[in-house]
Structure formats: C-alpha cells, structure tokens
Amino acid sequence: MGSDLSNYLLLKQGCLFATLFAAGHGILAQSTANTQSNTSGSSPVLFGTNTDLQDARSSGGSELGNVADDKSRKGEFAAAPIPLINPSIGNGGGVGVMYARHLGSKTDTSPNSVLGAGGFMTATGSWAIGMGAKLYLKNDRYRILLAGGGGKFNYNYFGTGNAAGDAGLSIPLSQRSQAFLIEPKVRFFRDWYVGPRYHVIQNDVSINNPNIDPKNLPVPLPEDLTLRTAALGFRVQRDSSDSTFYPRSGSIFDTLADFFGPAVGGQKVYQNLTISYNKYLSFGKKNVLATRGSMCLATENAPFYDVCLLGQAKDLRGYPVGQYRDNRMLVGQMEFRRELFWRVGAVAFAGAGAVAHNWSDFSKSEAQPGGGFGIRLVLAKRNHINLRADFAWGNNSKASYVSLGEAF
C-alpha cells in the first residue's frame, strides 16, 4: 500500500524505514544512513503529520483497474522480510505484507484496492506496527485511505536549519507515537479528485540517555516533547497515471493542506502545505523515466517533527531524514527504470533539495545533491509490485533502502 501510509506511520523525518506499509506502492522500508560527523547521522522512523500519505500513483486504472478477465480480478499477495541495520537504532528486522484485489462488479473499472500491514523491531528497543487500506470504489469515483499504528523510535535530533545539518551534531531522543488517519476523496471532473482528511497523532518524546546533562547539550532540546496533534484538511489531486504500483505514463499533481488546532482535537495551532508533481514517460516496453518535484511549507508554530524534512525516499535519497529540516523546502528528483530479464530490473536516480526558514532565504541556502542506483525484483507479477533495494549517496552521507514498491 504505498509510502503513503508508511510515511504517515513513520514520521516524515524517519529515514530508516521509508515505508512501514502503504496504500499504493510500499509497505515496509528500511534505510540506513551514515553521516561523516562526530555523532551518528541516522534518523529513524517516527510519526509525523506533515507527510505525503498518498504519493503512490492512484491510477485511473488502465493497467490495474480496467481489467478484462476474471483472472485479473483475483487477489494477489506481496510480502517480504526486511532487514534493518543502523548505527542509531541498532540491528533488527521487519516484515511487510500487501494484498491487492479488485472490488466491485465485473463491469466496475476501479483499480485494485489494497490492504497492508507491517512492523519492525531492533535490538535497541525501537519497534513499530501499522496497518491500513486504500480503497477504489464505484468505477474509481471514490477513493478512501485509512491508516493506523504505533511504536517507539530512538533517533538522533540535529536541530533546525542548514547550519545545524552541516554541523552534524545531534542528541539522542526516544519517541512513542500512536496515529490514525482517514482520507476519503471523490472524483469531480475527469482525473481530478478532492476530499477532506483528518488525522490525529499522540507523541511523547524524551532524551534517550540518562547520563546526558539536559543543561549541557550540543543541540538545544526541542519544544513540544509531549503533544497531541490533530488536523482537519483537504486534498486536491489530478491523477492521469496508468498504474497504482508501477506507472509507465501519465502524471500526478497533488496538493495537501492540513489545519491543526484544538477545534479538531489537537493541542497546538499551525498549518502545513505540500505540493508535488510526478511525471512518467515510457521509452519502449522496458524503460521508464520518472520525475518528481515538490515543495513544503510549515508555519512558525509547527513542532519540530512537523516542519519540512529533507531526505524522504520519494523526494531525495542519500540523507538521514531530519538532518536538514526547516519551515520551507524545495526538492527535485528523477529516476530511470529499466526492466532487464525475468523479474529483475535496475534503476538509476539523482536529485537535489534545500531547506530554508523563509522563501527569501533560498538564495543563501546550498542545495544538497543526492543520487544512486538500485535493483528491482517483481514479487507480484500481475500487479507489477516490486521489491526495491536502493543505494544512495549525499553530501558526506550514504544510505540504503529496502521496501515494497517504488520510491515515487
């Protein structure tokens, strides 16, 4: 089910598991990052709210939805064990499982709906479990996204701003989170969908080392360590992509806005806005060029886990998510995908991104480059659901990722 739900279950700064499970293309992901500094540069999974919960290509159904025979409508499982090796949260592993099936009558042209669940555990005590669903109903007129889960995550906090990211200094934090999301949408014109969204997350954060003096920290301790956030927002999406799991053509324009506050069950007032555009081009039967551009805006009162975070796999690989964070972000990435033989494929990708406190500060911000290569193994052939393994490099950092589904 996609990095949508996974990125919801894992704080958008969670770079170790890019996807716990997801509603479209990834259930469980693992990334390891080693930054060349005097502290660990890894930032694992956490819960967050300003996260793209449906960046997976929810297609109009030409490949998956407009099925012509009963065989295409039968359910299909994809599952994989995911190893996790990280100097910050320790060694461990997880598992992700996804079930794709067409819902509705034989004449219904909806894409396959997806159910997913996943979890992981490490030797240092970090763990998470989650489950969710992404439903396509009534000839793809209605799309419903549901997700929920919880866990404990030990990670390094680097502070806010480019200077903090460049310094590479961090403090160890431990975060317990529980989250729930619901997002129904309706098609109102051709490929355009719109609908409300609601999510609530309880976060409890503390220093993950009793021997550290809170008065003598290399990085200031952030505020909002114990906080319930809740938002009522909306999503507007134009989706002309041809597949939910492996798009070869079309595009996705996505706008997501969240309004947090006590009126909807939260404890703090602030707003988030993300806008992204994905484009897919085919060259022959085995080659696809995928490109993505995105921007993020968080208002001044946003907690540290809900500002813009550079390094999510769908935006830029090669960095520990959370090393570079601020109230604004601009990112671009492209990926060339090639099917090789049997069920094996390969990809190469590159991109760049930057964070800043205000839009005017981007003229003084240095863009962070990232790129790498990966291999693919088709686990569910009928729906073309891949097991993804990527190896990426950034500016004095490197990372590896394993997940079900494409990065974007």
What average pLDDT does the segment 34-38 reach? 38
The encoded tokens of residue 214 equal: 């809170």
CB 235 within 8 A of CB 185: yes
Model pLDDT, residue 327: 96
| Residue 149 neighbours by CB under 8 Å, 6+ apart | 9, 20, 128, 129, 130, 131, 132, 178, 179
Average per-residue pLDDT for the chain: 81
pLDDT tens sequence across 269-282: 999 999 999 999 99
CB 17 within 8 A of CB 45: yes
pLDDT tens sequence across 221-233: 999 999 999 999 9
Residue 58 has pLDDT above 60, yes or no: no
Domain 2-404 has CATH 2.40.160.50: yes
CB 331 within 8 A of CB 352: yes
Predicted TM-score (pTM) of the model is 0.79
DSSP state of 386: E
- DSSP string covering 42-89, please? -------SSS-S--S----STTTTS--SHHHHS-EEEEEEEEEEETTT
Range name among 88-97, 100-109, 145-154, 354-363 with the lowest pLDDT average? 88-97
The residue type of 367 is A
What average pLDDT does the segment 148-169 reach? 89
Residue 140 backbone zone (phi > 0: left; psi -120 to 50: alpha; other: beta): left
Element (H, E) at 373: strand 368-380
pLDDT band with cut points at 50, 70 and 90 for residue 122: confident
Q: Are strands 385-394 and 368-380 parallel, antiparallel or unpaired?
A: antiparallel
Beta-sheet strands, E only, within 102-170: 113-122, 127-137, 142-157
Q: How many CB atoms lie within 10 A of CB 5?
A: 37
Torsion of CA 58, 71, 403, 276, to 10 degrees: -10
Report the candidate in 408, 193, 202 with the shortest Cα–Cα distance to residue 315.
408
The encoded tokens of residue 360 equal: 């005017």
pLDDT band with cut points at 50, 70 and 90 for residue 56: very low
Collapse the DSSP code of 17 into the 3-class scheme (helix H, G, I; strand E, B; otherwise coil) and give the result: coil
CB 329 within 8 A of CB 314: no
